Amino acid sequence: MTSDIADRIWGGFLGGAIGDALGEPVEFLSKEERLQRWRPSGVQGFVHSDGMGRFTDDTQMTLFTAEALILHSKTGEPLLTALHKAYLRWLVTQKFPSRISPDIYLHEGFLLDEPILHKRMGPGRTCLKALMGATDLGMPAVNDSKGCGGLMRVAPIAFWAALHPEQWDTRRIFTVASQAAQLTHGHPSGYLSAGCFAVLVRDVSSGAGLEQALVNTLPFLEKLGETGAPIRRALQRARSLADKSVAWEEATLELGSGWVAEEILAIAVYLGLTAPDVEIGIVQAANHPGDSDSVGAIAGQLLGVYHAKIGSERFGTLKGYSTIAKTISRFLATK
């Protein structure tokens, strides 16, 4: 492992958590409410009275994905099973029951010992319902959701692939990330967007430019024909808007409200191609007029990997930073 890849992975984890926390108080507010609170400049830092940012379920589930990869490397258990168990442990932190016996998964892992993760921070209904209703580990969810709940949590799969390139070719990354998202999201756009994002993030983590990463990713969508067409069109639209230097405010109208996976993926790519640095890009993402915390999280992951360094002091103190830092350290130390 090179120090450059390690820096990029740190940047990806932290960029996602910071973007998530910046967008958390913004989500669900109307345009008028946002203007009244923060004027046209929007939220620029953590705004809670204690000065601390609070990440949501996006970062919580991302950390549980990282935990699954760590455990998989030590036990040899099938990765999809390890991922499903980790998400069921996340479900326990949210105080919801599952149909699968807790005896199968509750004794594993280390994140259940982190109090910060035992807080409900806007958990997505699709994730909750799918995990509560699951009867077999590793089985895909049966629903038609193309929300971003699968996409938001797969970045650690990309990081892991960058750390172990000899074991992870592009096809495996795309497949595993798609299957991980399919545990909760049944619409092709919901889980294939996760596969695309993982390939993009792996390539950028390994030092490729985002343009080259897109060139590497789009062929997978082309091979899927009409199934991959909505995601392919969204990504091509993002690249076209970036090439034309379309301003962020106008681009948000073109790329959608960000409540579904392919829209958030496109928004993150647009910001990756246009933001001059990670901090400006994360602020733009967190002020998105739609699903601001998830846009902030997913764009923050991509921007953090791309720019590697992120100055968290620019925004303030992130509540739960120590939990994130410990998880990243374990992640990077695992062989």
Domain ranges of the chain: 3-333
E strand map for the chain: 52-54, 317-319
Please check the confidence at residue 258 and state whether its pLDDT lies above 90: no
Tokens of 57: 């379920």
- The amino acid sitting at 58 is D
Weakest mean pLDDT among 8-17, 22-31, 295-304: 22-31
Q: When comparing pLDDT for 264 and 314, which is higher? A: 264
Calpha distance 147→242 (Å, rounded)? 24
Please check the confidence at residue 315 and state whether its pLDDT lies above 80: no
Please check the confidence at residue 328 and state whether its pLDDT lies above 90: yes
Residue (of 127, 133, 132, 229) closest to 181 by Cα position? 127
Read off the pTM: 0.96
Calpha distance 203→159 (Å, rounded)? 9
Mean of per-residue pLDDT scores for the chain: 93
What is the pLDDT at residue 188? 97
Q: 204-218 pLDDT, tens per residue?
A: 999 999 999 999 899
Calpha distance 275→23 (Å, rounded)? 17
Q: 170-185 pLDDT, tens per residue?
A: 999 999 999 999 999 9
Tokens of 158: 């990309």
Percent of the chain at pLDDT exceeding 70: 97
Q: What is the mean pLDDT of residues 173-201?
A: 97
What is the pLDDT at residue 312? 56
Tokens of 8: 């990029």
In CATH, the architecture of 3-333 is: Orthogonal Bundle (1.10)
